[in-house]
């Protein structure tokens, strides 16, 4: 009937909507220009067709065509051909014979073309999804009336572990020394930290920002601390295997534990901390801490003093839960001068004498710095309050005292002896090519020699020397090789960087840290990055321990 009026497929095309799949495929097969407008196709001015076109475009015909179109467009994935065939057969059975006789069933060839094209597109899409290892969705025909979506996630193929590269370790110039103390490094082991794949990396400075705490909750932050302690035990064992028995703990062991709002007690991790402390005690390792530069005992602002006390309390609790003895000291700098150095010195003494609890004072030691307080400034405070002084050779070079280093060390050692604490010092070198003070502050990758004071019998022969260098344990191992201090395993050595620059990072570079960024590893050289939290006005920070 329908084709009897249309007389040809070309005229039947005029009955179809211009944007339908049938029209597109039908017009291409007949080479009909796509510029035919819908208004023209629906126009009854065609003398061949006449007014009977609109009369015979009944609701029944439109319903059957739409049903066939919906079946074609709903077919997906690899089973689309079977599903479409089943649906077509079912509709063909239900279709009146008059439509089949008049040629409507001849559209089956058009269905096949559309199904093949849709199948190819879906197969290409599925292949793209598989290559990206994402979930692919499969439509399953359950009762020929409904579809159920089932997500099948492709298993990620494990990466093949890369073989360890062969390192060429250059020889070192051998030297003699009388020094018989211990050498140590700060916070981060470069070999363990750079293990691949990244999931096997070992480090104790997983940290975050306040935004992450708000988003993930306090339990998430505490879990970071637990993982840090677990990795600490791995580092202690590695140090023992490589004859390194002196280590500075990262201040990021428990992120924001001293915060006024988001802070927390370390009691939840007490068993694990005790286990780590027992391991260090078993091997005779010394563990110390070094809170960041924002710990200001001489600040004129009471809020900063309170924050500094909380920070010291956090470090002391960590050492106490580990069972670390009096050699586990907490080191702080004098801080800023606030345009009144004598007044600030008096506030420092007041804070230590009247504000700090006794258990914090028992671990507190001061260190000379490269800008504000040299050893000559701090030594009178230390002798008056019986607080030990850690002598930093690099800082003394940049901010020297009128008193010779050997004299300062003797006076500092006397305080250590009265307190029953083993003396401790810091050593580092400026970066190659550094000229200005700001450039020379940055630590070099390694140290080339031990100070002359360590050769003096009654000065510093038997002290613990913290090597503050970017190459961490590699700087210690190199000094072992140079002076023959300990046996070194060749497989633990890495070649030095031949292209050191005088460029600095963190607070020395003046580069601003983008607020809100997540931090994975908080270690650096002499970096103490501060971040002002605009919500509560408290100085927060990403602390990066020296060395």
Non-local (6+) Cβ contacts of 380 within 8 A are: none
Q: Which residues contact 195 (CB under 8 A, 6 or more apart)?
A: 201, 202
Average pLDDT over residues 165-184: 94
pLDDT for residue 313 is more than 80: yes
Both tokens of 419, joined, read 């307190």
Candidate from 16-20, 263-267, 433-437, 502-506 with smallest mean pLDDT: 16-20
Lowest mean pLDDT among 207-216, 232-241, 279-288: 207-216
pLDDT grade for 75, boundaries at 50, 70 and 90 = very low
Q: How confident is the model at residue 146 (pLDDT cuts 50, 70, 90)?
A: very low
> Does residue 378 surpass a pLDDT of 50?
yes
Contact 283, 236 (CB under 8 A): yes
Q: What angle do CA 443, 447, 450 make, to 5 degrees?
A: 125
pLDDT(72) > 60: no
The span from the CA of 372 to the CA of 338, in Å, is 10
Beta strands in 196-273 (DSSP E): 246-248
Range ranked top by mean pLDDT from 76-80, 479-483, 503-507? 479-483
* Residue 64 pLDDT grade (very low, low, confident, very high; cuts 50, 70, 90): low
Query: What tokens appear for 23 in the block?
Result: 């029209």
* Residue 543: φ, ψ to 5°: -85, 130
Give the pLDDT confidence score for residue 535 in this predicted structure: 31
Top pLDDT among 477 and 517 is at: 477
- Tell me, what's the pLDDT at 457? 85
Q: Do residues 292 and 341 make contact, with C-beta atoms less than 8 angstroms apart?
A: no
- pLDDT band, residue 233 (cuts 50/70/90): very high
pLDDT of res. 135: 43
**The 3-state secondary structure of 436-498, one letter per residue:** CHHHHHCECCCCCCCCHHHHCCCCCCCCEEEECCCCCHHHHHHHHHHHCCCCCCHHHCCCCCC
pLDDT at 529 over 50: no
Residues 4-56: tens digit of each pLDDT: 444 555 555 555 555 455 555 545 544 444 444 444 444 444 444 444 555 55
SS3 assignment for 270-315 = HHHHHHHHHHHHHHCCEEEECCCCCCCCCCCCHHHHHHHHHHHHHH
Tokens 């502050």 belong to residue: 441
State what percent of residues in the chain have pLDDT above 90: 57
Average pLDDT of the residues of the chain: 77
Q: Please tell me the predicted confidence (pLDDT) of residue 293.
A: 87
Whose CA is closest to 413, among 362, 361, 460? 460
In 3-state terms the chain splits into helix, strand, coil percentages (rounded to 5) of 45, 10, 45
Q: What number is the average pLDDT over the span 198-202?
A: 93
Q: Of 305, 285, 278, 280, whose CA–CA distance to 294 is shortest?
A: 305
| Pair 367, 373: CB distance under 8 Å | no
Cβ atoms within 10 Å, residue 447: 24
Of 541 and 161, more confident:
161
Q: pTM for the complete prediction?
A: 0.67
The DSSP H or E segment spanning 71 is helix 59-73
pLDDT of residue 21: 52
User: Other CB atoms closer than 10 Å to residue 312's CB: what's the count?
Assistant: 24
* Beta partners for residue 248, in sequence order: 186, 288
Q: Which residues fall within 8 angstroms of residue 432, CB to CB, at 6 or more apart?
A: 444, 500, 501, 502
Q: So what's the pLDDT on residue 106?
A: 45
Alpha carbon 377 to its chain's center: 40
Q: Which structure tokens are listed for 220?
A: 């998430």
For residue 511, pLDDT over 50 is answered with no
Q: How far apart are CA 188 and CA 191, in angstroms?
A: 9
pLDDT at position 81, please? 54
Q: How far apart are CA 519 and CA 540, in angstroms?
A: 13
- pLDDT given for residue 299 in this prediction: 97
What is the rounded distance in angstroms from the CA atom of residue 304 to the CA atom of residue 540?
11
The secondary structure of 390-430 as a DSSP string is EEEHHHHHHS--SS-HHHHHHHHHHHHHHHT---EEEE--B
pLDDT, position 476: 98
Q: Residue 136: what are its φ and ψ, rounded to 5°?
A: -110, 145
Top-confidence residue, 308 or 153: 308
The pLDDT, as a whole number, for residue 24 is 54
Q: Token pair of 386, please?
A: 């019986």
> What dihedral do alpha carbons 450, 452, 458, 460 form, nearest 10°?
-30
Whole-angstrom distance, CA of residue 303 vs CA of residue 196: 43
Helix axes 59-73, 108-131, angle to 10 degrees: 30
| E strand residue ranges, 305-344 | 330-333
DSSP character at residue 213: H
Q: What is the pLDDT of residues 458-501, one digit of tens each?
A: 888 899 999 999 999 999 999 999 999 999 999 999 999 988 87
> Which residue(s) pair with 247 in the sheet?
185, 287
Residue 525 pLDDT greater than 70, yes or no:
no
The pLDDT assigned to 86 comes to 55
pLDDT tens by residue, 235-279: 999 999 999 999 999 999 999 999 999 999 999 999 999 999 999
Q: Say what the pLDDT of residue 227 is.
A: 97
- pLDDT tens digits, one per residue of 327-369: 999 999 999 999 999 999 999 999 999 999 999 999 999 999 9
């Amino acid at each position: 009937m329908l084709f009897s009026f249309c007389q040809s497929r070309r005229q039947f095309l005029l009955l179809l909507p211009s944007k339908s799949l049938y029209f597109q495929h039908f017009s291409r097969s007949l080479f009909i220009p796509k510029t035919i407008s819908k208004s023209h196709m629906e126009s009854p001015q065609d003398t061949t067709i006449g007014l009977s076109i609109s009369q015979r475009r009944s609701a029944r015909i439109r319903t059957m065509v739409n049903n066939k179109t919906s079946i074609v467009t709903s077919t997906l994935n690899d089973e689309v051909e079977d599903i479409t065939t089943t649906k077509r057969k079912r509709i063909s059975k239900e279709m009146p014979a008059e439509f089949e006789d008049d040629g409507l069933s001849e559209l089956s060839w058009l269905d096949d073309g559309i199904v093949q094209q849709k199948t190819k597109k879906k197969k290409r899409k599925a292949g793209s999804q598989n290559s990206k290892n994402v979930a692919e969705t499969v439509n399953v025909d359950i009762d020929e009336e409904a579809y159920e979506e089932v997500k099948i996630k492709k298993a990620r193929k494990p990466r093949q572990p890369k073989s360890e590269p062969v390192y060429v370790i250059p020889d070192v110039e051998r030297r003699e020394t009388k020094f018989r103390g211990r050498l140590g490094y700060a916070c981060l082991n470069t070999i363990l930290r750079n293990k691949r794949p990244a999931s096997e990396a070992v480090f104790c400075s997983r940290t975050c920002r306040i935004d992450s705490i708000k988003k993930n909750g306090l339990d998430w932050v505490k879990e970071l601390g637990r993982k840090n302690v677990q990795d600490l035990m791995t580092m202690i064992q590695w140090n023992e295997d490589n004859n390194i028995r002196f280590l500075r703990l990262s201040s990021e062991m428990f992120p924001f534990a001293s915060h006024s709002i988001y802070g927390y007690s370390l009691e939840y991790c007490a068993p694990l901390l005790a286990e780590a402390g027992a391991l260090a005690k078993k091997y005779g390792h010394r563990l110390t801490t070094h809170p960041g530069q924002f710990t200001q005992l001489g600040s004129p602002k009471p809020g900063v003093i309170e924050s500094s006390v909380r920070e010291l309390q956090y470090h002391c609790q960590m050492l106490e839960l580990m069972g670390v003895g009096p050699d586990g000291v907490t080191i702080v700098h004098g801080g800023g001068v606030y345009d009144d150095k004598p007044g600030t010195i008096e506030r420092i003494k007041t804070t230590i004498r009247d504000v700090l609890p006794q258990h914090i004072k028992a671990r507190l030691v001061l260190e000379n710095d490269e800008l504000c307080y040299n050893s000559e400034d701090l030594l009178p405070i230390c002798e008056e309050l019986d607080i030990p002084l850690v002598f930093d050779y690099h800082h003394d070079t940049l901010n020297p005292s009128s008193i010779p280093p050997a004299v300062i060390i003797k006076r500092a050692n006397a305080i250590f002896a009265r307190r029953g604490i083993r003396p401790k010092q810091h050593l580092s070198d400026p970066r190659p090519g550094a000229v200005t003070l700001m450039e020379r502050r940055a630590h070099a990758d390694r140290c080339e020699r031990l100070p002359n004071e360590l050769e003096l019998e009654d000065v510093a022969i038997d002290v613990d020397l913290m090597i503050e260098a970017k190459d961490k344990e590699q700087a210690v191992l190199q000094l072992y090789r140079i002076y023959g201090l300990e046996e070194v395993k060749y497989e633990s050595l890495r070649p030095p960087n031949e292209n050191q620059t005088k460029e600095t990072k963190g607070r020395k570079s003046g580069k601003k840290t983008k607020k809100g960024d997540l931090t994975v590893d908080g270690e650096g050289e002499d970096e103490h990055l501060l971040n002002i939290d605009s919500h509560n006005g408290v100085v927060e920070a990403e602390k990066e321990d020296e060395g």
